Structure formats: C-alpha cells, structure tokens
Amino acid sequence: MKTGIKILATLFALGLGSQVAAKTCEMSIDSTDQMTFDKKEMTVAADCKEVKLTLTHSGKLAANVMGHNWVLSTTDNMQAIAQDGMQAGLDNEYLKPGDDRVIAATDIIGGGESTSITIDVSKLEKGGDYTFFCSFPGHYALMKGKFIVN
C-alpha cells in the first residue's frame, strides 16, 4: 500500500498526477415499455474527463412501437428538440439531423436492447441547467430528468 502512495506522490511531483487522476466515469439508465426511465436525476462529477452512458430497454416491445433513446440538452431546448424530432422520424432517431442543440444522444433501441455513448464532460458547465429525455414522439413529457454536473 505504501508503495502505491509513493508512486502516486512521485507522479504528482512530476506533473503527471492529473493524467493518472483523470477518470472516465460510467453511468447507466434503464427504460421500459411503460414509458419510464428508472432515474429522474443523474449526476456526473465535473472532474470526469468523459462519461460513458449506457441505455438499456428492459421491455419487450420493438423500437418502432415503443423505442427509446437518451438525449441530453439544455433544459430550455428540450421541448423544441423533441418537437422537431417528431418530424425527423425513426430513421433519424427522432432527432433533426445536425441539430446543434443536442449535446449527446443514443440510438433508438427496442425491448431487450442496449446502447452506449461517451459524453465529453468538458463541454458541459458545472452547475448548468441540463435535461435528459427520450425523443420518441410523445415520450419526452414523461421520460425526462435532470442531468447535473457538479
């Protein structure tokens, strides 16, 4: 144990400590056939360099019937993104192509599937007002939550 502490102390002294201390955070969220996420709030540490998010769908219905994705945006852009996404269709993951209001988004998945994305936390503001939601038509009213960077 003392050897490990000495190695870390040496790395910090050499200016390499921040590279060792930098971390890749991971989080997961589940979605269901009842149009719900299993979380209403997700928190990531501001010192995470990036975060890997995994979305699972524990339901049984197909993506074209009860598909879900996970979209991150500022709270004030959420509703407009979801409304524009309805017209974009399933082929575009119910997101307007090239929409720069979308910070991050997974693919649409159906029951029994999962998907992952990596989010660059450095692009997010500590204490910023972010919301995650599902952009499948009509889902964002129920399937949303607060995304906190602290």
Q: How is residue 89 written in tokens?
A: 């269709």
Question: Can you give the pLDDT at residue 65?
Answer: 97
Which residue ranges form the domains of the chain, and what is each CATH number? 22-149 (2.60.40.420)
Question: Can you give the pLDDT at residue 18?
Answer: 42
Nearest to 109 by CA among 74, 59, 73: 59
Q: How confident is the model at residue 9 (pLDDT cuts 50, 70, 90)?
A: very low
What is the total residue count of the chain?
150
Nearest to 57 by CA among 11, 100, 115: 115
Contact 69, 107 (CB under 8 A): yes
Query: What is the amino acid identity at position 94?
Result: Y
Question: Can you give the pLDDT at residue 3?
Answer: 45
Residue with the bigger pLDDT between 90 and 16: it is 90
Residue 112 has pLDDT above 60, yes or no: yes
Residue 142 has pLDDT above 80, yes or no: yes
What tens digit of pLDDT does each residue of 23-64 get?
Answer: 669 999 999 999 999 999 999 999 999 999 999 999 999 999
pTM of the shown model: 0.84
Question: Can you give the pLDDT at residue 14?
Answer: 53
Residue 70 has pLDDT above 70, yes or no: yes
Task: Identify any residues that bridge with 103 across adjacent strands, giving them in sequence order.
Answer: none
Question: Can you give the pLDDT at residue 24?
Answer: 66
Question: Can you give the pLDDT at residue 23?
Answer: 63
